[in-house]
Structure 1
Amino acid sequence: MKRVSIFTGKFRATMIAVTVASAFTASTSFAQEDKDLKPAVKTATQINESAANSQVKVNNLTDQIDSKLQQFKTINKEIEGLDVYNSQLRKQIANQVQEMADLNRSIDDVSVIERQITPLMIRMIDGLEQFVALDVPFLQEERSNRITDLKNMMDRADVAPSEKFRRVMEAYQVEMDYGRTLEAYAGLHTIDGQERNVDFLRIGRTALIYQTRDGSLQGIWNKESNKWEALSSDYRTQVTKGLRMAKKQMAPDLLMLPVAITD
């Protein structure tokens, strides 16, 4: 029995020694593994950090690409709008070019018309002068001055041809209006060699009558003989009435006056 106990004790000692040796060996192995793992861990950490930095760069690049893409889309829309605008401008420019061509042709035509209308206006003024000379002799000074002004105007370079033509037509219109109006005006008239103040009564171009201020004498222009003839005192009241009507001093009414009948 003692021998067993001693053997058992030796066995335990041996086991303890083995255990201690194993623990030491394991500790040494763990230290070695730890020493071997540190570089790997460090490398893995660096890889993770690099990956994180790369991801940040990727995110930044993605944001930049999105921004550039948005700018690209915006610029494309602007380009489309500019294309439409430029197309419209090209049409407008084409129309303006056509208008310029039309204006140039019109200017050429105006030059031709101006060269033709100036002689026409001169003939119209000469014709008007002849007409006034042969017409009933009313407002002779006024009408003569109007024709003189027209002739002087034709020699002026500062008056446009359009204005000259307007003035000539205006003179013709005035002469036309004389034929359908009733007018009374004061003037001087020679009666029996003596100049007298009289009132003239013009009834269109149908009759031109004068009456002295005292109403004692009156006369009428004879178109056939182209001279003045005395009127009977029987017409005094009618002439006075006509003068008052022309001066707007009484309402229009029927007048009984002699009228020359011409063929």
Structure 2
Amino acid sequence: MKACFARTMVLAALLASTSALAQEQALEPVVDAATEINQAARSSQLTVDKIADTTQERMQQYKQINRQISGLEVYVQQLQRQIDFQEQEQLDLNASIDEVSVVERQITPLMLRMIESLETFVELDVPFLADERANRIAGLQDLMDRADVDVSEKFRRVMEAYQIEADYGRTIEAYNGEMDVNGQAQEVEFLRVGRTVFIYKTRNGEHLAVWNQQAREWQELDASYASDVQEALRIARKQLAPDLLMLPIFTDGAQAGE
């Protein structure tokens, strides 16, 4: 009876062992599959994490690019305003160029008339600095024929000549020169007070003469004016301070003292 029970126990144990082995063998594919699933899950998670990181990076790049686009849009708008302004300036400049062409055609004859009028004025004026003034007008006439000088420069030179002539009427001047005195060339000192008084005095002081603009001729002065003329010459040369002068002038053909 005991032997039978023992065999039964051994058989049961053997059956249990065989069953456990069979179960273990049956579970191996499941375990392997679970392992593969876990590995695949880890790989998928890594892929998901990588995709998430990449997505975040792309999102930051997208935002940065959007900011750059916004900045470029503002910059392009500013450039467009500048282009519009430059195009308007170009239109205005073209209009100005057309106007300049018209002005040039009009101003050249005007300058020629101004030079001609200035020449006539100098010829009829008190004859001080005759060579200097004549040379200035001749220079303007030559200048007008030059193609390498801008119209603006020509006009500036003409206006400068007019300004110089205008200044003569407000200044006092003394300079040296030569005069034909009694048929003999002599060195003299000229005195000009505006355009009112024009006198010369010989170096030795023997001859004094004043220009009579009405008669357009020189008239001798007596020696009583010598000291006043000498003082006026020194004032004109800035050797004396300005002072009241007694000099002869002509009004309506009559000589008067001043």
Q: Which range, TM-score by smaller chain?
A: over 0.9
* 2:182 match: 192
Structure 1 residues not aligned, in runs of 5+: 1-9
* 1:36 match: 26
Partner Cα distance (1:45, 1:224) in 2? 134
TM-score by length of 2: 0.96
- The superposition leaves residues 39-73 of structure 1 with CA deviations (integer Å, 9 ceiling, x where unpaired) of 11111111111111111111111111111111111
* 2:44 match: 54
Structure 2 residues not aligned, in runs of 5+: 254-258
Partner Cα distance (1:257, 1:57) in 2? 115
- The superposition leaves residues 115-162 of structure 1 with CA deviations (integer Å, 9 ceiling, x where unpaired) of 000000000000000000000010000000000000000000000000
* 1:163 match: 153
2:114 partner amino acid: M
- The superposition leaves residues 78-126 of structure 1 with CA deviations (integer Å, 9 ceiling, x where unpaired) of 1111111111111110000000000000000000000000000000000
Partner Cα distance (2:53, 2:148) in 1? 74
* 1:92 match: 82
Question: Per the alignment, in what secondary structure is the counterpart of residue 253 of structure 1?
Answer: coil
Partner Cα distance (1:120, 1:158) in 2? 19
Aligned pairs for 1:55-74 (under 5 A) are 55-74=45-64
- Matching residue within 234, 237, 252 for 1:247: 237
* 2:125 match: 135
1:219 to 2:209 alignment: yes
Aligned pairs for 1:112-131 (under 5 A) are 112-131=102-121
Question: Per the alignment, in what secondary structure is the counterpart of residue 251 of structure 2?
Answer: coil
Q: Percent of aligned pairs with the same residue?
A: 53
Question: Per the alignment, in what secondary structure is the counterpart of residue 187 of structure 1?
Answer: strand
1:109 to 2:99 alignment: yes
Partner Cα distance (1:248, 1:84) in 2? 68
Partner Cα distance (1:262, 1:55) in 2? 121
- Matching residue within 191, 199, 217 for 1:209: 199
1:107 partner amino acid: I
* 1:228 match: 218
More displaced 10-residue stretch of structure 1: 115-124 or 208-217: 208-217
Partner Cα distance (1:237, 1:216) in 2? 12
Q: How far did 1:30 drift?
A: 0.7
Q: How far did 1:15 drift?
A: 2.7
More displaced 10-residue stretch of structure 1: 31-40 or 165-174: 31-40
Question: Per the alignment, in what secondary structure is the counterpart of residue 250 of structure 1?
Answer: coil
Partner Cα distance (2:181, 2:203) in 1? 13
Q: Which has the larger radius of gyration?
A: 1
Partner Cα distance (1:42, 1:197) in 2? 135
Q: How far did 1:251 drift?
A: 1.1
1:77 to 2:80 alignment: no
* 2:11 match: 21
| Number of residue pairs the alignment of both structures matches | 253
2:165 partner amino acid: E
Q: CA RMSD in A?
A: 1.1
